[in-house]
Structure 1
Amino acid sequence: MAAFRTLDDADVKNKRVLVRVDLNVPMQDGKVSDATRIERVKPTITELADKGARIILLAHFGRPKGAPDAKYSLKPITETAAGIFGRPVAFVEDCIGEVAEASANAIQGGDILLFENTRFHKGEEKNDPDFAKALAASGDIFVNDAFSAAHRAHASTEGLAHILPAYAGRTLQAELDALEKGLGSPEKPVVAIVGGAKVSTKIDLLQNLVTRVDALVIGGGMANTFLAAQGVDVGKSLCEHDLADTAKTILAAAEKAGCAIVLPTDAVVAREFKANAANEVVAIDAVPANAMILDVGPDTVKAVNQWIDKAKTLVWNGPLGAFEIAPFDKATVAAAQHAAERTKAADLVSIAGGGDTVSALNHAGVEDAFTYVSTAGGAFLEWMEGKDLPGVQVLKQA
């Protein structure tokens, strides 16, 4: 991986620093209900403030379709951000124009402004050069600390970096360092666990991984598609039968690349999809016609954990079963806790990401025990698919 310009390379004292952050946080009754993403950018904000930078935060919130919309305003986030940063955060009603520029010019070193939602302007998502110039008018330096938006070539993630000196913030830097350890130049053997409902959403991911890892564990609903492609009757389980040929192509590519594919050998099945439904463990070739697979069975968990034991690097995206409802969370929890133990013992580098994955690791009580857990859903997936991320590429050292 090429080196990236970071804050180590930047002189920020008394400079107006436009910092792209991810403040797209869940809200409930007008209040932030999960501040994880705000907490993630605190190291960058603190460092810049301590170095005397004049900080202007740029962010999007929701999908306002290129026009102002009160329900997508960033203003309600200001109070929570100030509490986390331990400093006042002033709000500005727009992100471009005379008021924005005057506000940026008026603040002192260590002060923080939060500009209104960049997506209130159509030029943001179109990466319009004139809109990027209008944003740049309020800054001397650009710092991107929003990996979760780095897969989008938008004005505030990519366009600004062509106008102002551009650097990776500490959160983005940590993410890139972790991803490099995961798939860029990992310690081998590398094992990937990929779960979730559908193969159709992760075709590119699977095709990339089989060429990069030593073993690929496939769980969740998507495993059923692979099993069915091999002639296994999966009963009433979620299954994309129309993707049988795709599954066979991925299996053939794995064989050619020397990547072991680990599919369920037993399963937990039930007749209805609800918490604590009557269930049983069956061999994978003995799924009753009127039942559905809702989790992998104990023999499969044992096999997964044996692969985790062999691995030096683990990359995880997606649960092994319907972890949201008991008792179909058992396999995901058991494997996650085993990976956490190996990580704590310094025997494993464990990198995880994706919305359901973060929820599953939280549910298993191990999110803090993994080497790195990415909160960047789409960007993490595109990175795992082997795609270049525009917001990252533009920060590479010349």
Structure 2
Amino acid sequence: MGWKTLDDMDLNGKTVLTRVDINVPVKDGVVTDDTRIQRILPTIRDILEAGGKPVLLAHFGRPKGERVPAMSLSVVRPALEAALADIIDGPVKFAEDCIGGPAKQAVAALEPGEVLLLENTRFHAGETTNDGTFAASLAALGDIYCNDAFSTAHRAHGSTEGIARLLPSCAGRLMQAELSALEAALGTPQRPVVAVVGGAKVSTKLDLLGNLVEKVDHLVIGGGMANTFLAAQGIDVGKSLAEHDMTDTATEILTKASEAGCEIILPSDVVVAREFAAGAAHEVVAADACPADAMILDAGPDSVARITAVFETAKTLIWNGPLGAFEIAPFDAATNAAAAKAAELSAAGTLTSVAGGGDTVAALNQAQAADRFTYISTAGGAFLEWMEGKTLPGVAALGA
């Protein structure tokens, strides 16, 4: 572990510049899902209890270096105050800029026990270009830098990478939990390791698949991606979603897996239908027997039995992407059944399960399995890039 945590820092009396991800969904000026806000509360609480003064750095939307009123973090402030009601007595303080006079004055006025939120870092072009002057302007506001935004750690921005090189730095509680979970899943995992990778396209997950076949013992491929692999084996997938121009690449991945001793598990039976609609007429057929006028929309029961059997022998599970078109019943059956088994084994303590990615979290929530997984990552792109074996600038800078 090349990075420090809050426990390694003397925070008493210090201004702690804390990078958080509160880029939450908003409708009609109201936050509709405060999950990301809830996930940063342990870090803020621990900084306050250690005598530090948290100053929150965050982005909201993509203003592209311009001051866009509709993307002001002030819209998030009421939800942040509500979440912090049990931790602080008064309102969340707010500065109308993240650098310069307004920020300096707000930091200087901050009292112990208070929390300050600075305006959207992306209102400045220097944030996304990782401009040294911008990063220095941020660093000048505090004594210690704490990164609690793993979900932005794959970007070398001023508030994620540049500032970490200018101040004593550490990981916040959420970042610490993410890194510890991912290290347990891919760095030094208990074997056997099984990975589930689903989704529509092979082309978007080439690096991921290429890295995983060298790291895991079993790789379950589902969703539209599985259709491309079936097609690569000469199987007619009818009107199914498939990237026929990627079949050579799929074959290369199969060969690489074989050489690495990784078993790739593709559907042996599939659920097919003539239309993608709720309650559409459907049937289960062998994977190589898809009718020419039908689409493969889910893995079949034999495939699910094989997947769950592998889960029962595994010690570690990494999950990214659904096994079928989970958005519409009955094509969510395979994802739901596999998720339920993974959740059961995790709850029993025999399986360490780590999952991440937008569709993945939605699918596991729908299956009512997410709360029993060992760890659910809130990150999208950063989670994928970690799984791909890439260095994340925001994490690397913490160890600099």
Q: Name the TM-score, length of structure 2 as normaliser.
A: 0.98
Look up the equivalent residue of 1:395 and give its one-letter code.
Answer: L
Per the alignment, residue 66 of structure 2 pairs with 67
Q: Deviations over 1:108-156 (max 9, x none)?
A: 1221011111000000000000000111121111000000000000000
Q: Map 1:328-367 onto structure 2 (within 5 A).
A: 328-367=331-370
Shift of 1:305: 0.3
Q: Please state if 1:301 is matched with 2:304.
A: yes
Shift of 1:51: 1.8
Per the alignment, residue 49 of structure 1 pairs with 48
Per the alignment, residue 192 of structure 2 pairs with 189
Q: Please state if 1:142 is matched with 2:141.
A: no
Per the alignment, residue 379 of structure 1 pairs with 382
Correspondent of 1:392 among 388, 395, 399: 395
Aligned partners of 1:53 and 1:111 also within 8 Å: no
Secondary structure in 2 matching 1:286: coil
CA distance in 2, matches of 1:152, 1:337: 34
Aligned partners of 2:150 and 2:379 also within 8 Å: yes
Q: Map 1:40-119 onto structure 2 (within 5 A).
A: 40-86=39-85, 87=88, 88-119=91-122
Shift of 1:54: 1.4
Q: Map 1:272-311 onto structure 2 (within 5 A).
A: 272-311=275-314
CA distance in 2, matches of 1:74, 1:366: 33
Q: Deviations over 1:162-202 (max 9, x none)?
A: 11111100110011110011000000000000000000110
Look up the equivalent residue of 1:159 and give its one-letter code.
Answer: G
Correspondent of 1:228 among 231, 241, 250: 231
Q: Map 1:194-273 onto structure 2 (within 5 A).
A: 194-273=197-276
CA distance in 2, matches of 1:167, 1:85: 22
Q: Deviations over 1:20-51 (max 9, x none)?
A: 00011111111111111110010000111122
Aligned partners of 2:198 and 2:225 also within 8 Å: yes
Q: Name the TM-score, length of structure 1 as normaliser.
A: 0.98
Secondary structure in 2 matching 1:41: helix
Aligned partners of 1:127 and 1:155 also within 8 Å: yes
Look up the equivalent residue of 2:279 and give its one-letter code.
Answer: N
Aligned partners of 2:273 and 2:280 also within 8 Å: yes
Aligned partners of 1:51 and 1:110 also within 8 Å: no
Q: Deviations over 1:66-101 (max 9, x none)?
A: 111011111011111111122321111110101101
Q: Please state if 1:327 is matched with 2:330.
A: yes
Aligned partners of 2:95 and 2:116 also within 8 Å: yes
CA distance in 2, matches of 1:67, 1:154: 16
Per the alignment, residue 20 of structure 2 pairs with 21
Secondary structure in 1 matching 2:349: coil
Q: Please state if 1:8 is matched with 2:11.
A: no
Shift of 1:251: 0.3
Q: List alignment gaps of at least 5 residues for structure 2.
A: none
Aligned partners of 1:48 and 1:110 also within 8 Å: no
CA distance in 2, matches of 1:31, 1:276: 34
Q: Deviations over 1:211-254 (max 9, x none)?
A: 00000000000000000000000000000000011101100000
Shift of 1:3: 3.0
Secondary structure in 1 matching 2:389: coil
> Stretches of 4+ moved more than 6 A in 1?
none
CA distance in 2, matches of 1:151, 1:324: 28
Shift of 1:53: 1.2
Per the alignment, residue 34 of structure 2 pairs with 35
Secondary structure in 2 matching 1:375: coil
CA distance in 1, matches of 2:59, 2:315: 37
Look up the equivalent residue of 1:167 and give its one-letter code.
Answer: C
Q: Deviations over 1:235-293 (max 9, x none)?
A: 00000000011101100000000000000011111111111111111111110101101
Per the alignment, residue 130 of structure 2 pairs with 127
Shift of 1:366: 1.2
CA distance in 2, matches of 1:85, 1:203: 41
Aligned partners of 1:14 and 1:108 also within 8 Å: no
Aligned partners of 2:322 and 2:363 also within 8 Å: yes
Identity %: 63
